[in-house]
Structure 1
Amino acid sequence: MLFELCLILLLIILYVIYVKRRYFSLHGSLPGLSPHFLFGNLIQAGVLFRNISVPNALRQFKARYGDVFQFWLGSSRIIVVSGVEDVQHVLTHRHIYDKGALSTRTFSILFPDAIVCCKGAKYKRHAAYILTLFRRTKVMANLDLMIDHVDKLLVRWRANDIDIIHQNILQQCQYLVLGIFGFIAFDYDLEILNGEDFTGNELTQALQDFVSAFQFLLFSPSFISSIYLKFNSRYRRAREVIKRHLYQIIEQELTENEESLANRKRTCFIASLVTSLQENESLEASKPEEDKKGLSRQEVLDEMLLFLVAGFETTATALAWFIHLMSKHPRVQSKIKAELASNGGTTQDITQDRLDSLVYLDCVVNEVLRFCPPLLAAVRTVGVDDVLPQSGAQLHEGDEVLIPIHNLARDTRLWSIDPDLFYPERFLEADKNHHPYALLPFSTGHRQCIGQDLARFELKVLAARLMQNVTFTDGGPQVNSGGHFARVSVMPKHIGVKISFDY
């Protein structure tokens, strides 16, 4: 009996030691704060309970600990790397640094068979079909479609009282971008802008509920996230609604004849995806990954879901930041309008040639993406032990490396003009030849955002059309203070603007 008690006591002591070393101790020599159990550094950084955003928390830690430090995102230990030469090293040595296991684990809970979660041979198989969907020529073919959707939004705004302060700008941007993406990706009318208000329809509400879960997943261990989603009826209902709509889109596409599919593959993502469907899923499933061809129906579904979420969040977030920043910087807004006026007038149709001539607007788009990057970070996993060239930091196999995009964008060593200023002219002046890794709004390298050409093009088109027609003014500090919160993208927390028509 005494032996059993001693054995149990020994096991308890060993478990306590393990927990202390795993959750309450720093690992190695890199600086940082000792983490709290389960919460990591989130309480100490103010992310929990003090409403400090993750980008600002990482910026504060950088000021305290330097370019390389440990940070515990919940129960996950990450190495934050902010020195630009170290960042370039990580993002250009793909044989050492692969897709981050941390981000893969998080996304795989939502869409396990999408390209963002794939590695190795499976990634190559998906990339063969997915990357071609976002080629610039395919994206630019949708210029008129984008403008038509903006015009629908303008009709709604014109019906409003001029003194109304719009506090749901982010939601309106999401609906606008999602409506556009429904046609670009699926040749499908999601009927988002057809109603009389901005309450959305069943699908848009389901998408809101679906992506809302991501904020919880970002800070939670995988097993807790899985339990949370399993018992979250709102999330499960949202997922079923989205799947039903996506299956309906797939079935509608399968009814098209081969000639129609061939013609529509030039502009429509879903037509290309459907032609990638495996003819015999059971046979393909039995093959080694290196020998598989095509995509299964579940893989196509997850890719479509990823497209929807990305289309719902990233470009919409950037557009909302654009509107917020225009309301705060009337000088910039006036210069955009002047450039539009000198390139064919403010009421003329926007063509590809006119769009290419808007150099200052390019600078504004770049500055919006620098000042308020929609993505939080790039994440990589160390495949073999390595030493970073700038800091000399030793990294070990299995370490998770996080590159905070906001830190690079606000690093005074990388920008000649004060990076805390919103100043688009920097890209025509002293910062014209900035370090290429100082501005990474969509990451870079072989695992960069596959939709960045679409996002940049769409943001420029939407911004140009809005500036042709309306002026945004500040709704006041109580409603238009900005700030961020993180979901799939880093979103503005408080936007409140007035909208007036220019003619």
Structure 2
Amino acid sequence: MGIVRTIPRAPGALPLLGHALPLRRDPLAFLVSLPAHGDVVRIKVGPAAALVVCDPDLVQKVLLDDRTFDKGGPFFERLREGLGNGLGTCPHGDHRRQRRLTQQAFQARRMPSYAQVMSKEIAEAVGRWSDGDTIDVLTDMQTITARTTMATMFAGTADASLTGLLVDFDVFSHGVYKRMFMPPPLQKLPTPGNRRYQQARARLLQAIGSIIESHRARGDKGEDLLSTLLAASDDGQGLSDAEITDQVMSFLYAGMETTAAVLAWALHHLARHPDLEARLHAEVDAVVPDGAPATFDLLPRLEFTGRVITEILRLHSPGWMLTRIATTDTELAGHPVKKGATLVYSPYLIHHQATLYPDPERFDPDRWDGRTTRGRTNALIPFGGGARKCIADTFGTTEATLALATIAARWRLEPAPGTTVRPAPTTVLNPYGLTMRTTARTTSNPAASRTA
């Protein structure tokens, strides 16, 4: 193991509580403060200890060695309770088989078909806005991503229960985060919060089970995600209904929550930077046909739009803090790591290091105009890395780019009077309090409809 290094402790721990208060009050500031104390820093939440990995090279080591640093710890334990043992939450031993089977639903050849559905749903959703509306941006973005996720996953299924699904996923998401910091005995108490969480989860499972049963009964052979999962086979063995339910829960959760947060943050920052907003409008006016939604074939020409999405993924990574479990005694840069230790890594922490990203709090899409980040290829990790990298990364960035381009082509959004926006870290990093007014746009370049 070489030289054994002592792992420094983060300052400010309180008796019994440890660092629970700063993690609840301002977790982002607390995380960003930790690299000043070491490349691996010990924290405590109540009686439990965890090691926060602050160095990007060490984070990469954790991500690439998923056998030694398996998915686990408070974050994934709570997600596994709610989402089941799907691809995003399952342990190493289950992952390879699940990856082979679910990968069939995310092959590159399927993206144009998915994107066609996305474009239609996005256009219909933003077409319901009226000039001068005041909208809750996060809620509207969640509606858009929910509709696109459900339409790509459940072709032919009625969406009458969409509102209920949105409410239940919101309750579930907040419940997961709260339970990360809740001692296990308290999670079983019949408190109002625990009851809401359990009831929302039960309704979600019932709704998804009914949809799966309906698809099987119809013998669907379509191109939607669910039909692909139902047909997936590995040496003649497919996924059971319980396994498919777990996959659907994971994909719905990721598709509805994370992409919505990215879009909401993008609209917020563009409104605060009129020069960048003008560049986005100029690009979409030149590329997207007047009155039509952005489509898959236009993505290569939506370069600045794509850079905006990438910069938001850096600045406000939806998955801002995640955990792993050491499956054996090991070490990180000479720091001893005992079997069973909880490790924390934070894309937000890595993405806000000034040594990697000069002026890290600045919204700057031009960071991604072809330049590298000081030669560090491991400095951008919104989708994780290694064998456990998010299987739907291309799906998500495609949806976000199409949605942002379609919105920008038709609308200009500006903050509503009195709006104060702040980060709201739950399982996803959302913008809290983001209300905006819509102003209809006319295409500044009418030739776009002829040349695109």
Alpha-carbon offset, residue 469 of structure 1: 0.7
2:312 is the alignment partner of 1:371: no
**Quick check: 1:56 aligned with 2:29?**
yes
- Contact 2:9–2:42 (CA<8 Å) still a contact in 1? yes
SS at match of 2:409: helix
Q: Choose the corresponding residue for 1:215, options 147, 167, 177.
A: 177
Match of 1:13 in 2: none
The one-letter code sitting in structure 1 at the alignment partner of 2:146 is L
Distance 1:432 1:405, change over 3 A: closer
Q: Is the 8 A contact 1:37 1:75 kept in 2?
A: no
- Cα distance in 2 for partners of 1:317, 1:433 equals 28
The match for 1:422 is: 363
Contact 1:125 1:293 in 2 (8 A): no
The answer to whether structure 1 residue 460 and structure 2 residue 401 are counterparts is: yes
- Partner residue, 1:169: 137
Alpha-carbon deviation of 1:401? 1.7
Q: How does 1:398-413 map to 2 (within 5 A)?
A: 398-413=340-355
Q: How far 1:58 moved relative to its partner?
A: 0.7
- Partners of 2:106 and 2:392 within 8 A in 1: yes
Whichever residue aligns with residue 352 of structure 1, its letter is F
- Residue 179 of structure 1 pairs with residue 147 of structure 2: yes
CA separation in 2, counterparts of 1:466 and 1:306? 27
| Uncovered stretches (5+) of structure 2, i.e. residues with no partner | 443-452
**Distance apart, 1:107 and its partner CA:** 1.6
Show CA shifts across 1:459-481 (max 9, x none).
001011111111122335x42x3
Note if contact 1:55-1:404 (Cα within 8 Å) is conserved in structure 2.
no
CA distance in 2, matches of 1:487, 1:453: 24
What are the superposed Cα offsets for residues 251-305 of structure 1, whole Å, 9 maximum, x if unpaired?
A: 2111224xx51xx1xx311112223599xxxxxxxxxxxx994333222222222
- Relative distance call for 1:462 and 1:429 in structure 2 (3 A) is same
Match of 1:133 in 2: 105
Q: Structure 2 residue aligned with 1:337, among 281, 284, 289?
A: 281
Of all paired residues, the percent bearing the same amino acid is: 21
After TM superposition, give the deviation of residue 501 of structure 1 in Å. Answer: 0.9
Query: Which amino acid is 1:131 matched to?
Result: Q
Pair 1:86 & 2:58 matched: yes
For the Cα contact (< 8 Å) 1:82–1:403, is it kept in 2? Answer: yes
Distance 1:302 1:96 in 2: 24
Match of 1:320, SS state, is helix
2:242 pairs, out of 283, 298, 307, with: 298
SS of the aligned residue for 1:412 comes to coil
The aligned amino acid for 1:411 is Q
1:384-407, CA deviations, whole angstroms, 9 ceiling, x for partnerless residues? 333334xx4332322222121111
Alignment of 1:97-496 (within 5 A): 97-158=69-130, 162=132, 164-166=133-135, 168-189=136-157, 191=159, 201-227=163-189, 232-257=194-219, 260-261=220-221, 264=222, 267-275=223-231, 293-343=237-287, 346-347=290-291, 350-389=294-333, 392-415=334-357, 417-428=358-369, 431=372, 434-476=375-417, 478-479=418-419, 481-496=420-435
**Post-superposition CA distance 1:1-48 (Å, at most 9, x none):** xxxxxxxxxxxxxxxxxxxxxxxxxx96422247446643121x2x44
Q: Structure 2: which amino acid aligns with 1:142? A: Y
**Contact 1:321 / 1:368 at 8 angstroms: preserved in 2?**
yes
Residues 214 and 228 (structure 1), Cα distance of their counterparts in 2 relative to 1, 3 Å cut: farther
Amino acid aligned to 2:250: L
Does the C-alpha gap of structure 1 residues 215 and 119 become closer, same or farther in structure 2, counting only changes over 3 Å? closer
Indicate the SS of the match to 2:379.
coil
Where in structure 1 are there 5+ consecutive unaligned residues?
A: 1-26, 194-199, 279-290
Q: Which amino acid aligns with 1:458?
A: E
Tell me which amino acid in the other structure corresponds to 2:153. A
Kept after mapping to 2: 8 A contact 1:174/1:312? yes
Per-residue deviation, residues 45-65 of structure 1 (Å, max 9, x unmatched):
2x44xx32x2222112334x2
For the 8 Å contact 2:104–2:232, the answer to whether it is kept is no
CA contact (8 A) 1:136 1:454 kept: no
The answer as to whether partners of 2:157 and 2:211 remain within 8 angstroms in 1 is: no
Checking the alignment, whether the CA contact within 8 Å between 1:317 and 1:489 is kept in structure 2 is yes
Q: How many angstroms apart in 1 are the aligned matches of 2:372 and 2:114?
A: 32
CA distance in structure 2 between the aligned counterparts of 1:338 and 1:171, rounded to whole angstroms: 27
Q: Which amino acid aligns with 1:464?
A: A
**Highest relative contact order (Cα 8 Å, sep 6+), 1 or 2?**
2
Structure 1 residues 255 and 475: CA distance shift in structure 2, 3 A: same
Query: What are the Cα deviations for residues 183-204 of structure 1, in whole angstroms up to 9, with x where unaligned?
Result: 11121445369xxxxxx63333
* Deviation at residue 422 of structure 1 after TM alignment: 0.6
* Alignment deviations for residues 133-172 of structure 1 (CA, whole Å, 9 cap, x no partner): 22333233122322222222223212x5x1x442x21111
Counterparts of 1:240 and 1:94 in 2: how far apart (Å)? 31
Give 1:495 shift: 0.9
Q: CA separation in 1, counterparts of 2:371 and 2:300?
A: 23
1:234-263 Cα offsets, whole Å, 9 max, x none, are 233323322232122112111224xx51xx
User: Displacement of 1:313 after TM fit?
Assistant: 0.7
Specify the alignment match of 1:5 in structure 2.
none
Q: Larger Cα Rg: Structure 1 or Structure 2?
A: 1
User: After superposition, what is the alpha-carbon deviation per residue over 1:90-129, rounded to whole angstroms, capped at 9, x for unaligned?
Assistant: 2223443222343332222213332233224422232222
Query: Structure 1 length as normaliser, TM-score?
Result: 0.79
Query: Which residue pairs with 1:41 in the alignment?
Result: 19
Change (3 A) 1:429 1:250: closer
Aligned length: 438
